[in-house]
Chains A and B, each alone.
Chain A
Amino acid sequence: MSQFASVLSQLFPGLVPILAAALGGLATEYVGVLNIALEGLIMAGGFSYVAVGSAWGPEAGFVAALAVPAAIAWLQDLYARKARADAFVVGLSVNLLVPGLASLLSQLLFGTKGVVADPSLASARLPRLLPGLPVLGPLFGLQRLSDWLALSVAFLAAAVLAWTPFGLRARAAGMNPESLELAGVRPGRIRGQAYLLSGLACGASGAALAAAIGAWVPNLSAGRGWIALVAVYLGAKRLGGTLLASLAFALLLALANAAQALHSLPADLIAAAPFAVTAVVVVAGAFLRRAKRPAVPAGGGNRAGRPPA
């Protein structure tokens, strides 16, 4: 029972960063582009939280953590569109650029490339809301304010995608940009806004990670952006699916942490599991889709995101 409660209590802090980033990935998938830069954007969020927060307090830090990655993502898309560069390659560069810049700025601002700790940035735990309950207690009580804040941003992103005119337009842009042309909406603008949302959500993820430990640690995201991306694909690029897949991964990782107590499985192999599962799902999904739809040009259908050959 206590093991179970332990897994549950770990589920939430593990879930928030992955979920927020996954929604960020979903935002651009809605408009039909893969934002490979989630990892970099999470780091941008985490670093901004600490860099701005240590100067002007955690509230300002949180705002910066949202604003900076949003701006980066928006610029990233603007550059890709205006310079006709491949969106995918630009995303890859952002993944290289952000850790480099963070390290450089960290050196300039704090005189270290390493850990920047500021205990005042560590987010406070909320009071235990539901003390007596065995399951809900650990799940809902005793969690960090920052996690709840980041979760609200994630929820906001989900709401924007699901229930606003923007979400509708984004989906239309991803399915058939011409439908927007007839509606008098510029698909490029929608794409830019989707990137903006993507950066915002990733920023929330980064802020949650940094606030949980009250510090900037190089490589803060530690692969969570990739897992988020994988969750989007495992969730079939749909809102509900992405939520479920994120939850499944968070559960898997929490279980893996708990399983270490048993010394049964090496940590590295557990870390490989989400990727292996998703690879199987992606291939099986493609196979089924192809079996269902025989009239597809075999050996044709290159993905749109090809390198400039």
Chain B
Amino acid sequence: MQLLACSGIHKRFPSTGTQALAGADFFLEKGEVHALVGENGAGKSTLARVVCGLLEPDAGTLSVDGRPVRFRSHRDAERSGIGLVPQHSMLAPGLTVAENLALGHEPRRGLAFFDGRRAVYEAAMLADRFGFSVPPDARVSDLGPSGRREAEILRAVARGSRVLVLDEPTSILSEEESSRLFALIRRLKDAGTGIVYISHRAREILELADRVTVLRDGRTLATVGARQLDECSLAELIIPTGACASEGGSRGSAAEPVLEFRGAMTAGGAGLDLTVRSGEIVGVAALEGNSLDELEDLAAGVTVPGARQLFLRGRELHGDGRDAAARREVAYLPTDREGRGLSARSPARDNLLASRLRGYSPRAYAGRKRPREDAAGLAAAFGIRGDLSRPADALSGGNRQRLVAARELDGRPGLVIAANPAQGLDPAARASVFRRLLELREQGSAVLLLSQDPLDLAELADRSFILYRGRLSPIPPEGLQEGRLSSLLTGAFA
């Protein structure tokens, strides 16, 4: 009998209009490690949240030990023995590890008092049992990434998990920490726990998993025994278009340096050195958790770089209001389209024209005719459908994506920072965005391409780098040609 069975799960988020799950099936046996893989946005995390009772599905059935269940909260799932190690921390940062573990099941002393000492004792016992080194009385905000992850795992197993869902558990862990985690997972598995393991890292999956279920566009594509797979075929399963077939040629290095990192520090590691010149596309690839987001924040000016570490056309960037003029020649397609690319409650038209507001004379702007025409023209060129006078968040998700691309990739920016440019786009839109990036390169723009998807690099980049555990290493041309991107990304070359 299956320990956990999900069939025909549907989940739609009305706020963004995305259909995250559209008939996903997933079956977990006792004592198996079952990997859940798929592209970003394939629905892995949503399915995990449904399994753990954090989301209620719109349709579909869940059953545990063959009995149908309905989870209204995580507590219900917990009663069925399902624990979650979420991708993003769900710990209260100001509380101690022990307090976080106790939350919702606080040991009491006297009539109503929280027994902090017993909580620490229980947490210590638990940590001891699993060989964890995290101090139970440490504040979570004082812990490093591995300490936090250990705390998350402890919380998940504290209620005696029969099913443990791990969502990208190693993304912020070092090699050694990861292997400790794997040992723990094996021990849990031997004790009969069923483990749902969500990861991008092919090597880990092949090392750990018994079976692999592939999600694509919210549907289950296939469930395969892990022994039938190698790294390449697994990568193929995850990302459909043949990685091996892609070709990327390096071009002769172009003229003027536009964006320069000179030993810029990220939290994850050593200083980064990188130069992007006009007329070239420099690609950096990484999986989640490998400081790609930090690199994006630095390049885009969201975070403040150290002194004399970041330069645009030879001028130092400070990462604050002083850069306003410099920012205007930078086109930025952020990963977080909603948070950084839109002022979502403002009208779509204002969002669309934000980068070119200065181009209008006060009179022309007040007359509204030209801005309206320009906006309509842009919308038509990039296929944005919807009422432009309504707030941007009234547009559908895809149209919002296109809106950001339309604004940023129009005109002749000196520097383009494209972070995960294809994310959330349908093939046609993806193709048009890519075409536009290549055009911009031909026009002399410098393009920094940051992506979690190696295919983007293969298709666009003149030079490619891999960011792994805070270090930037060039990808040799054969790395792209031989179709070994996935192994590159999972650290084989790093």
Contact = CB atoms under 8 A, between A and B. Distances in A.
Whether A and B touch directly in their complex, counting CB atoms under 8 A apart, is answered as: yes
Interface of A: 163-165, 167-169, 171-172, 175-176, 178-186, 294-299, 309
Given A164-B112, A169-B103, A175 B302 contact: no
Nearest to B111: A164
Interface string B308-334: 000000000001110000000000000
A182 B297 CA distance: 30
Contacts of B104: 169, 180, 182-185
Interface of B: 54, 73-76, 78, 84, 86, 89-95, 99-100, 102-106, 108, 112-114, 155, 297, 302-304, 319-321, 345
Contacts of B319: 298
B83 to A, nearest CB: 9
B91 A179 contact: yes
A172 B304 contact: no
B321 A299 contact: yes
B155 to A, nearest CB: 7
B108 A165 contact: yes
A179 B86 CA distance: 11
Nearest to B94: A175
A163 B114 contact: yes
Given A165-B114, A168-B114, A176-B92, A183 B103 contact: yes
15 contacts: A164-B113, A168-B95, A168-B99, A175-B92, A175-B95, A179-B100, A180-B103, A180-B104, A181-B73, A184-B76, A184-B78, A296-B303, A298-B304, A298-B319, A298-B321
B90 A181 contact: yes
B46 to A, nearest CB: 15
Nearest to B306: A294
A182 B303 CA distance: 31
A182 B321 contact: no
A168 B297 CA distance: 34
A168 B94 contact: no
Given A171-B94, A176-B93, A184-B78, A295 B103 contact: no
A184 to B, nearest CB: 2
Contacts of B303: 295-297
Contacts of B106: 165, 168
Given A165-B114, A298-B304, A182 B155 contact: yes
Contact of A176 (B78, B91, B102): B91
Contacts of A181: 54, 73-74, 90
Nearest to B73: A184
Contacts of B304: 294-296, 298
Contacts of B76: 184
A172 B119 CA distance: 15
A171 B345 contact: no
A294 B112 CA distance: 42
A295 B78 CA distance: 38
